[in-house]
Structure 1
Amino acid sequence: MIARMWHGRVPTSKAGAYREFVNSRAIPDYRVARGNISVHILERAEGDITHFITLTFWEDLESIKGFAGDDIELAKYYEEDKEYLLEFEKNVVHYEVVGQS
């Protein structure tokens, strides 16, 4: 199993709207992707900036390629992200899951 992690920052004033967008648009897209096991959205407010982490779990790297394309290190963005994100981090990170409960 592979974990894929993306990080983004939004102005805290837009965090609620971004949270709604992610839950209504991004999560459903992940859930129908072949090989996706689960998706988790993490949020942490830090003054005027709110951090979001998208943590997804996949069966294998081929499943991630089916979702993200051949260069699985590149982050994927929606057109609507321009309304919220302060910058567009180029890469995501992957981890092999070596333990779970």
Structure 2
Amino acid sequence: MICRIWHGRTHASQADAYAAFLQQRAVADYRSVPGNLQVQILRREDGEVTHFLTITHWESEAAIRAFAGEQLLQAKYYDEDRDFLLEFEPLVQHYSMV
């Protein structure tokens, strides 16, 4: 199993709206891909900024490719992310389950 971890930051004032967007759009997208085993979204307040981690569990690299394309470590963004995110981190991290 492979864990794919993405990090993003919003203004704290937009955190609730972004969390709702992630639940409605991103989680549904992840879950629609065969081979996606689990989706977790973590949130941490840090003053005027809120951090989000999306942790997805996949059965294989082939399943991740079906979601993200051939560049496995490239972050995938949605058009709506421009309304929320403070920057666009280009890469995600992959970890193997032990």
- Aligned to 1:42, what secondary structure does the other structure show? strand
> Which residue does the alignment assign to 1:26?
26
Are residues 1:84 and 2:84 paired? Answer: yes
What runs of 5+ residues in structure 2 fail to find an aligned partner? none
TM-score by length of 1: 0.96
In structure 2, C-alpha distance between the alignment counterparts of 1:43 and 1:88, rounded to whole Å: 17
In structure 2, C-alpha distance between the alignment counterparts of 1:46 and 1:9, rounded to whole Å: 10
In structure 1, C-alpha distance between the alignment counterparts of 2:93 and 2:55, rounded to whole Å: 10
> Which residue does the alignment assign to 1:8?
8
Q: After TM superposition, give the deviation of residue 50 of structure 1 in Å.
A: 0.2
> Which residue does the alignment assign to 1:70?
70
Moved over 2 A (4+): none
In structure 1, C-alpha distance between the alignment counterparts of 2:62 and 2:82, rounded to whole Å: 29
For the aligned residue pairs, the C-alpha RMSD in angstroms reads 0.4
Partner letter of residue 76 of structure 2? K
TM-score by length of 2: 0.99
Q: After TM superposition, give the deviation of residue 34 of structure 1 in Å.
A: 1.1
Deviations 1:74-98 (A, max 9, x none): 0000000000000000000000001
Identity over aligned residues, as a percent?
Answer: 51
- Number of equivalences: 98
What runs of 5+ residues in structure 1 fail to find an aligned partner? none
